[in-house]
Chains A and B, each alone.
Chain A
Amino acid sequence: MYAFDVERPTSVADAVAALGKEEAQALGGGQTLIPTLKQRLAMPSVLVSLTGIAEIQGVCKDDDGRVCIGGGTKHAVVAKEAAAHYPALAELASHIGDPAVRNRGTIGGSLANNDPSACYPAAALGSGATIVTNTREIAADDYFQGMFTTALDEGEIITEVKFPVPEKAKYMKFEQPASRFALVGVFVAKYADGVRVAVTGASNDGVFRWSEAEAALSKDFSAGALDGLSVPGDGMISDLHGSGDYRAHLVAVMTKRAVAAAH
């Protein structure tokens, strides 16, 4: 780690002000950022901790029935408090990392980081969620822009994420054996106006929607509707843990399983 200062604002406004300083960076739960700093791969001069900002914490429902999760809400809190409103989302949160990670890591940090193997991006894209920041609202379809890349501007803070609640949904995660992030994770959500299928872990371009599967499932929400459908192995991540073809194969398997288990 290089030396840095820490600021602990208690409001979004103060946080935004603090992030205006040169080389300032937001600190959520630190589960990604702190290891990065320890490796000396980043050199912020100020870390602006978001954990003391009450207004971006917690889970509630808005007037449109959407589940709204504060950007600073920890995975463990989502696992518990979203369970009644959006079980598939709560389940996803409950399988991120280990208890230590879930009690520090936040939804805002996860979405801001947009790791190609992270779980939340699949939920956000698969639910057609809205990412709310201190300046604007961004539709999930516009938010994810390739691995580790998002629509966020410098110093922009995720304050809330709004999830429309589907009739049925399920996240199926096939774990990478070492990190236990998603080798392939598929989030399937059935809404009155159609089905969304978002895939994480697999593509070199980060989380993506599998539109063919969405079309098929929108007509017939059954695992059988996916028979014969596949994604190409080209463009899929190929590494120590699996080839592109293997990942492509898993996309189909996990999608079927998610449909079969959706509730």
Chain B
Amino acid sequence: MPKDNGIGASTKRREDVRFLTGHGKYTDDINVLHQTYVHFLRSDVAHGKITSIDTAEAAKMPGVVRIFTGADFEGVGGLPCGWQVTDRHGEPMKEPPHPVLAQGKVRHVGEPIAAVVADTLAEARDAAEAIMVEIEDLPAAVDMKAALKDGAPKVHDELSDNLCYDWGFVEENKGAVEEAIKNAAHVTTLELVNNRLVANPMEPRVALGDYNRSDDMSTLYTTSQNPHVIRLLMGAFVLGIPEHKLRVVAPDVGGGFGTKIFHYAEEAFCTFAARQIKRPVKWTSTRSEAFMSDAHGRDHVTKIELALDKDNNFTAIRTETYANMGAYLSTFAPSVPTWLHGTLMAGNYKTPNIYVNVKAVFTNTVPVDAYRGAGRPEATFQLERVIDKAARELGVDPIALRKQNFITEFPYATPVAVEYDTGDYMATMAKLEEIADVKGFAARRAESEKNGKLRGLGINCYIEACGIAPSNLVGQLGARAGLYESATVRVNATGTISVMTGSHSHGQGHETAFPQVVAEMLGIDESMIDIVHGDTANTPMGMGTYGSRSIAVGGSAMVRATEKIINKAKKIAAHLMEASEADIELKDGAFSVAGTDKSVAWGDVTLAAYVPHNYPLEDIEPGLEETAFYDPSNFTYPSGAYCCEVEVDPETGKVTVERFAAADDFGNIINPMIVSGQVHGGIAQGIGQALLENCAYDENGQLLSASYMDYAMPRADDVPFYQVDHSCQTPCTHNPLGVKGCGEAGAIGSPPAVINAVVDALQSGGHKVTHIDMPATPSRVWAAMQG
């Protein structure tokens, strides 16, 4: 019988009741008395010198409270970058200032120039139209390679050029890699683009700043994945507000996908302005603003070489990537193409020599930062595409080539500085072949051909580093933050529990899955446990949710805190039963004395803790509340194998995904239904990247895909029913739950499978296509078929 409580149960998501019935409480649902509204006047040119801003007329417009420009922020800090990358020559990356409101220059379409605060939003917009801004247009740096040429327009005048850093990893491997490539029996080279994406969470960003003069307290309500991180960055680096005078609340958040990790100008603005005008200031992004102000994702241009010996063993991998940073460094931007990308370049394979070079480039575009998978999809895509290309060039089966090169012994230290603790790539591949019915493909292809369609099958593997991250390690790598997580388990007198966690749920289902863990440990019903998250005022300092870290790091903190609870509760139980603590056992929500029939219920013990009449006050404190911080000793390494089958209409180039199978190893699983849902969502986004989504700029830095009229999001009818399986489980060896994390896998593992399938389909039709860039839109596929 499947479990209906605790770890392993597919408990229905309790938060969905409020989400699906319209009772969620999102940031925009919060309104504060005397609230004002801000409208940002944003740059409509990509690059230009601000020669004058005249707000005099606008300031006289009805309802206007105050107009802010860059000048008002001269004494205020810029937006900080949370990660410092050191380049190949030991030099720190270039880190130009990132102002809240533009100072002197505008550097991308959408950059805020001025902010009008008014009694109503309409009044703010009206007044913004009356602001006179003169901008002297400058040529824009848009294409990364062109931006690095001599004489290219400089995004930041004070820098020598547009190169943020030139990173080599591992620099000491470079010579050996060159040698291995020289001596290889075969080298496959592939140049590709990892397309720029806009995350587009369903809920656009919102910020509401409030200031209370009575206690000098600032409160920011914001759509964040990590309220404590925002408090730290904004309080300490931007506005100089001490942490105890700053509260950040991220209530229900309608999806983040990475883009709500970062500290944004609008958050700092609303908090700052509320203190200035002594009234709350609210900003709600329109979808149009989201396209030009939410940090974008991906945007790499890569050349990868894979060297093989005469027996088709991989001997070396060399990559050169241009990574777009956009106009400014967003909070974690520098880490994405480096530590979240270079470290994964070994994939699932035992390649002895690997060298990764990344050139991060400033351009006159929206800043680029982490988006679901962050760096790992880019690594996986190039690696799994080049392996597929190699298999075709060598005329070998792509699955066999992969299997031959799989890492089979664990722990495995890669040449790119990480150590995989566990995995079983043969098992996930075998499971994939089974659920995808790879054997039946030939028949399905024949059927498609009868209908005039080309059918292709694409396979790939992936490995990701999740459970981000060991603080001491990331500290060495340039992180300016620790990446532990925290939990406070507060047991109430009657035995119910509130768990305050630093993790943040914005769709992941923590409110359901986290109680399952505590329920399992205590042997009580999940419904007795609630999760509290998203408010710095009532949760311990935590680093939030991204990098598939919540259950692995946040869940582990919760386990540690619950262990402390159990230890103390056992002491109380021992006292109540006049037994020795060592003999106390906890099972099914009751404490018993080993070898006797004596027992006390969970609720009796918790009541005793808060009504300590008969209580060993000399030995233990009353109350039952414990906090733990957990810092992992390693990343976790989820892995898997994915298979996609597509049909291509040879007359129009339209690709349809007919089948998609995913075999993942996430280690132990808390709630299989939620895990499947995470994989489903990730695959939809991966298919979106592979076939539909494309954030495009023209040569002047104008955003061409600035709305849903031109930016294609995946919809229900763009994706098939998935076969997903997570029965292959090699538990993580270093966290107490043995979990690995599942949030990003789908988005990491799916794009190469789709493109491998498209190439397979086209080749089956006799087209000499060896690669097609994402998104493989009908027009691109058609053009590729024309040769």
Q: CB < 8 Å: which of B654, B696, B778 contacts A240?
A: B696
CA distance A246 to B783 in the complex (A): 8
Taking a contact as CB atoms under 8 Å apart, the answer to whether A177 and B122 are in contact is: no
Is A174 in the interface zone, CB < 8 Å from B?
A: yes
Q: CB < 8 Å: which of A40, A174, A179 contacts B652?
A: A174
Is A61 in the interface zone, CB < 8 Å from B?
A: no
Taking a contact as CB atoms under 8 Å apart, the answer to whether A241 and B652 are in contact is: no
Is A209 in the interface zone, CB < 8 Å from B?
A: no
For window 14-57 of A, CB contacts with B under 8 Å fall at 39-40
Is B341 in the interface zone, CB < 8 Å from A?
A: no
Interface bits B713-725 vs A (CB < 8 Å: 1, else 0): 1000000000000
Taking a contact as CB atoms under 8 Å apart, the answer to whether A241 and B782 are in contact is: no
A188 to chain B, nearest CB (A): 17
Can you list 15 contacts pairing A with B, beta carbon distance less than 8 Å? A2-B126, A40-B125, A174-B778, A178-B708, A178-B709, A178-B713, A179-B708, A179-B710, A240-B705, A241-B777, A242-B777, A243-B779, A246-B653, A246-B778, A250-B652
Which residues from B are CB-within-8-Å of A241?
710, 777, 779
For window 282-333 of B, CB contacts with A under 8 Å fall at 288
Taking a contact as CB atoms under 8 Å apart, the answer to whether B652 and A177 are in contact is: no
A191 to chain B, nearest CB (A): 27
Is B237 in the interface zone, CB < 8 Å from A?
A: no
Taking a contact as CB atoms under 8 Å apart, the answer to whether B694 and A240 are in contact is: yes
Is A253 in the interface zone, CB < 8 Å from B?
A: yes
Is B692 in the interface zone, CB < 8 Å from A?
A: yes
Interface bits A156-189 vs B (CB < 8 Å: 1, else 0): 0000000000000000001001110001000000
Beyond A178-B712, A246-B779, is A240–B704 a contact (Cβ under 8 Å)? Answer: yes
For window 202-250 of A, CB contacts with B under 8 Å fall at 240-243, 246, 249-250
| Interface-central residue, B651, B708, B713, by most chain A CB under 10 Å | B651
Is B615 in the interface zone, CB < 8 Å from A?
A: no
Q: CB < 8 Å: which of A2, A240, A242, A253 contacts B710?
A: A240
Taking a contact as CB atoms under 8 Å apart, the answer to whether A249 and B708 are in contact is: no
CA distance A243 to B783 in the complex (A): 9
Is A100 in the interface zone, CB < 8 Å from B?
A: no
Which residues from A are CB-within-8-Å of B694?
240
Taking a contact as CB atoms under 8 Å apart, the answer to whether B782 and A177 are in contact is: no
Is B26 in the interface zone, CB < 8 Å from A?
A: no
Which residues from B are CB-within-8-Å of A177?
691-692, 712, 777-778
Is A84 in the interface zone, CB < 8 Å from B?
A: no
CA distance A178 to B778 in the complex (A): 12
Taking a contact as CB atoms under 8 Å apart, the answer to whether A178 and B711 are in contact is: yes
Is A60 in the interface zone, CB < 8 Å from B?
A: no
B638 to chain A, nearest CB (A): 31
Which residues from B are CB-within-8-Å of A246?
653, 778-779, 782-783
CA distance A243 to B779 in the complex (A): 8
Q: Which residue of B lies closest to A252 (CB)?
A: B651
Q: Which residue of B lies closest to A178 (CB)?
A: B712
Q: Which residue of A lies closest to B711 (CB)?
A: A178
Known: A179-B710, A240-B694. 8 other contacts (CB 8 A): A40-B129, A174-B652, A178-B710, A178-B713, A240-B710, A242-B778, A246-B778, A246-B779
Is A13 in the interface zone, CB < 8 Å from B?
A: no
Which residues from A are CB-within-8-Å of B708?
178-179
CA distance A2 to B705 in the complex (A): 25
For window 665-720 of B, CB contacts with A under 8 Å fall at 691-692, 694, 696, 704-705, 708-713
Which residues from A are CB-within-8-Å of B705?
178, 240
Q: Which residue of A lies closest to B777 (CB)?
A: A177
CA distance A39 to B286 in the complex (A): 10
Is A261 in the interface zone, CB < 8 Å from B?
A: no
B129 to chain A, nearest CB (A): 8
Nearest first, the 5 A-B pairs at minimum CB distance are A178-B712, A242-B779, A177-B712, A179-B709, A246-B779
Is A192 in the interface zone, CB < 8 Å from B?
A: no
Which residues from A are CB-within-8-Å of B782?
246, 249
| Interface-central residue, A243, A246, A253, by most chain B CB under 10 Å | A246
| Interface-central residue, A177, A243, A250, A253, by most chain B CB under 10 Å | A177
CA distance A47 to B416 in the complex (A): 64
Q: Which residue of B lies closest to A253 (CB)?
A: B651
B596 to chain A, nearest CB (A): 66
B343 to chain A, nearest CB (A): 34
CA distance A154 to B561 in the complex (A): 72
CA distance A178 to B694 in the complex (A): 10
| Interface-central residue, A3, A183, A242, by most chain B CB under 10 Å | A242
Which residues from B are CB-within-8-Å of A253?
651-652
Which residues from B are CB-within-8-Å of A39?
288
CA distance A140 to B651 in the complex (A): 31
CA distance A242 to B654 in the complex (A): 12
CA distance A183 to B712 in the complex (A): 13
Q: CB < 8 Å: which of B122, B778, B783 contacts A1?
A: B122
| Interface-central residue, A3, A241, A243, by most chain B CB under 10 Å | A241
B42 to chain A, nearest CB (A): 13
Interface bits A248-259 vs B (CB < 8 Å: 1, else 0): 011001000000
Which residues from B are CB-within-8-Å of A179?
708-710
Q: Which residue of A lies closest to B288 (CB)?
A: A39
Which residues from B are CB-within-8-Å of A240?
694, 696, 704-705, 710
Which residues from B are CB-within-8-Å of A249?
782
Which residues from B are CB-within-8-Å of A174?
652, 654, 778
Q: Which residue of A lies closest to B704 (CB)?
A: A240
Which residues from B are CB-within-8-Å of A183?
778
Which residues from A are CB-within-8-Å of B129?
40
A190 to chain B, nearest CB (A): 22
Which residues from A are CB-within-8-Å of B710?
178-179, 240-241
CA distance A178 to B777 in the complex (A): 11
Q: Which residue of A lies closest to B651 (CB)?
A: A253
For window 632-682 of B, CB contacts with A under 8 Å fall at 651-654
CA distance A183 to B691 in the complex (A): 16
Which residues from A are CB-within-8-Å of B712?
177-178
Q: Which residue of B lies closest to A242 (CB)?
A: B779
| Interface-central residue, A174, A178, A242, A246, by most chain B CB under 10 Å | A178
CA distance A241 to B129 in the complex (A): 33
Which residues from A are CB-within-8-Å of B709?
178-179
Which residues from A are CB-within-8-Å of B778?
174, 177, 183, 242, 246
Which residues from A are CB-within-8-Å of B651?
253
Interface bits B745-787 vs A (CB < 8 Å: 1, else 0): 0000000000000000000000000000000011100110000
For window 107-139 of B, CB contacts with A under 8 Å fall at 122, 125-126, 129
Interface bits B15-59 vs A (CB < 8 Å: 1, else 0): 000000000000000000000000000000000000000000000
Q: CB < 8 Å: which of A3, A178, A250 contacts B122?
A: A3
A99 to chain B, nearest CB (A): 13
CA distance A40 to B125 in the complex (A): 10
Which residues from A are CB-within-8-Å of B288?
39
Which residues from A are CB-within-8-Å of B777?
177, 241-242
Which residues from A are CB-within-8-Å of B653?
246
CA distance A114 to B708 in the complex (A): 20
CA distance A158 to B710 in the complex (A): 30
Which residues from B are CB-within-8-Å of A250?
652
CA distance A243 to B125 in the complex (A): 37
CA distance A183 to B694 in the complex (A): 17
A110 to chain B, nearest CB (A): 16
Which residues from A are CB-within-8-Å of B126?
2
A225 to chain B, nearest CB (A): 17
